[in-house]
A and B are shown apart, each in its own frame.
Chain A
């Protein structure tokens, strides 16, 4: 119970900070939009819609925006020495990890939720599907878990902007694959058996594995 309340307190602190300043949400949204515009020039060489590339585009944008969000989550703590205070607080490291992870998750889900209809319009997609929502939720849990862990490491170095993506993207490859393939199946509107028997279970296994491992080794990130 103490773990839960401490976790929620840390997550709520981050959410409130973001609501008050709104600086990251706005820039992350604009950045997500820019990704689509830039990729349009890279991929849309023949006249027509970008729809075949849409699942990949969606998840590339979500991945980039996610890295932005995760870097913020710990950079903000680092800037004014707040991290030391957080670590000195009488709560377990599990609560710190889960709180930061939940805060990042909420932040990313909001951005993804706002970007989705924009993408649906620009790429001409039937994006309003509960299955797609489930895919986004599960993939974002994977993003936030691994990303929060690596952001905690990267934030303690001088080159966090480059270190986080270098650590994050190779490890997150299975999530990207599963999310892109499942999204493609949903957007095609064809048979969705592979979504339920293959890609969603893959996401669940990835999430469960890293939700166990990351809190377990999180404490070692802050020693020395």
Chain B
């Protein structure tokens, strides 16, 4: 565990990790995830229509919601960077987008795994799945743009503006895809899940899963911000060293 938290050169590794909030966040995340696994696999009732596969829902929904949170944080931090110009704003925006892309990728993967037994196909142009795919494309482009910029400062500014545009686009994409699908309904082969037929125990486990996913998201975000900070420090010294 000590390996994961940061450590100063003179500190004992165990003592320094006990002072690091990320260490405690990691412990909390691990505990919540284990409890969540127990709730999902043991406590949650098996869905009468869909069978065991319905349990995917307890991770698919939270990671989808948290990917949105990641993109919201990315856009807000992008605006913060453009106004205040602190590099920490850019680090947070970059970290939030990267963690958001990890979450949205997993939302797509779990959506595909859900679609196969439930709808009989691997991929279907269902509105939420389609919107998720477009979000994935937008934010992969966000992560790309930084590497194409001629200077680091341009990379930060370009990322910020692409993050803002991407996030403004999200609700429009969602509504247009929704309207589009309402004209051409998806061909659903298997039984369809009714969204509103959620038993109270299922709803409570979903909320718990959301809390666990939020802890994981916060841990990964803080870890990514710290990593960017360390990387920036090294490259700053390297730059000075070569100019001396």
Q: Give A contacts to B, CB under 8 Å.
A: 146, 149, 153, 156-159, 163, 166-167, 169-171, 173-174, 177-178, 181, 194, 198, 202, 205-206, 209-210, 213-214, 217, 220-221, 223-224
Contacts and interface: CB of A to CB of B under 8 A. Distances in A.
A48 to B, nearest CB: 21
Contacts of B179: 177, 181, 198, 202
A24 B76 CA distance: 39
A221 B158 CA distance: 6
Interface string B136-150: 011001001100111
17 contacts: A157-B150, A163-B145, A166-B141, A166-B144, A167-B145, A167-B162, A171-B138, A173-B173, A174-B175, A177-B179, A181-B183, A202-B179, A217-B160, A217-B164, A220-B157, A221-B157, A224-B152
Contacts of B177: 173, 177
Contact of B172 (A166, A174, A198): A174
B153 A224 contact: yes
Contacts of A206: 172
A195 B132 CA distance: 26
A174 B154 contact: no
A21 B210 CA distance: 59
B24 interface: no
Interface in B84-137: 134, 137
Q: On chain B, which size bracket covers the interface?
A: 20 to 34
Contacts of B173: 173-174
Contacts of A153: 145, 158, 161-162
A174 B176 contact: yes
Nearest to B153: A224
A212 to B, nearest CB: 10
Contacts of B157: 220-221, 223-224
A210 B166 CA distance: 11
Contact of B176 (A158, A169, A178, A220): A178
Contact of A167 (B82, B141, B149): B141
Contacts of B144: 163, 166
- Name the prevailing secondary structure of the B interface residues: helix
A177 B176 CA distance: 7
Pick from A177, A205, A206 the residue with the most CB of B within 10 Å: A177
Given A171-B169, A173-B134, A202 B175 contact: yes
A213 B172 contact: no
A163 B158 CA distance: 13
Contacts of A220: 82, 157-158, 160-161
A206 B183 CA distance: 20
A181 B137 contact: no
B147 to A, nearest CB: 9
A55 to B, nearest CB: 12
Given A166-B141, A167-B145, A224-B151, A217 B161 contact: yes
Contact of A173 (B148, B160, B176): B176
Contact of B148 (A163, A171, A198, A202): A163
B153 A223 contact: yes
A198 B160 CA distance: 31
Contacts of A149: 161, 165
A93 to B, nearest CB: 12
B183 A159 contact: no
Nearest to B136: A170
Contact of B141 (A146, A170, A209): A170
Given A159-B148, A166-B141, A223-B157, A171 B176 contact: no
Given A170-B141, A221-B157, A224-B157, A213 B180 contact: no
Interface string B165-208: 11011001101110110010000000000000000000000000
Contacts of B134: 170, 173
